[in-house]
């Protein structure tokens, strides 16, 4: 993990008034705690033989990425958290396969540290596939939905 990525996580923590952040990916563990005395961090690197691919820094909104060989776009998770398709267990999902979306359409919720974050499509199109499982953990940048652009 690069210094700029750690700085971006700390900035996200400040903006969202979070006091603790932890993540584990491909053998890399990171835990950052904020307190009255500032920021403390602990990073545990993977064994030397393990190569960890760098991850992009977290951002406030989901990224919409074009697939290299198709016209499909993906709505990705802007953070580590728990993916929910509906606002409550008794409610219908925000979107289904075949649902038309635009930039402001809420497609799901990602819960991070007891905060429910509504995720918007940020593109126009039709949902062609739901790629994440309801009530299961998601990683930063993980594909949540496939969208056929309009």
CB 72 within 8 A of CB 148: yes
Q: Sketch out the chain's domains with CATH numbers.
A: 3-44 (no CATH), 64-149 (2.40.50.100)
Place of tokens 């996580």: 9
CB 12 within 8 A of CB 19: no
pLDDT for the residue numbered 43: 46
pTM comes to 0.55
Place of tokens 């960890």: 52
pLDDT tens by residue, 2-59: 667 777 777 777 777 777 777 776 667 777 776 654 444 444 445 444 445 555 556 5
* End-to-end CA gap in the chain: 37
Which H or E element spans position 43? strand 38-44
Q: Cα–Cα distance between 15 and 29 in angstroms, integer? A: 22
Closest-CA residue to 117 (of 149, 77, 70, 72): 77
């Amino acid at each position: 993990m690069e210094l700029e990525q750690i700085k971006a996580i700390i900035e996200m923590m400040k903006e969202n008034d979070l006091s603790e952040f932890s993540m584990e990916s491909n053998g890399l563990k990171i835990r950052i705690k904020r307190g009255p005395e500032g920021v403390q961090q602990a990073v545990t690197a993977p064994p030397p033989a393990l190569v960890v691919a760098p991850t992009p820094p977290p951002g406030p909104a989901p990224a919409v990425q074009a697939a290299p060989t198709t016209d499909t776009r993906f709505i990705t998770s802007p953070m580590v958290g728990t993916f929910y398709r509906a606002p409550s267990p008794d409610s219908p999902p925000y979107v289904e396969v075949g649902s038309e979306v635009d930039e402001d359409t809420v497609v799901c919720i990602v819960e991070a540290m007891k905060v429910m974050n509504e995720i918007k499509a940020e593109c126009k199109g039709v949902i062609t596939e739901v790629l994440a499982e309801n009530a299961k953990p998601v990683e930063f940048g993980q594909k949540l939905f496939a969208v056929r652009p309009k």
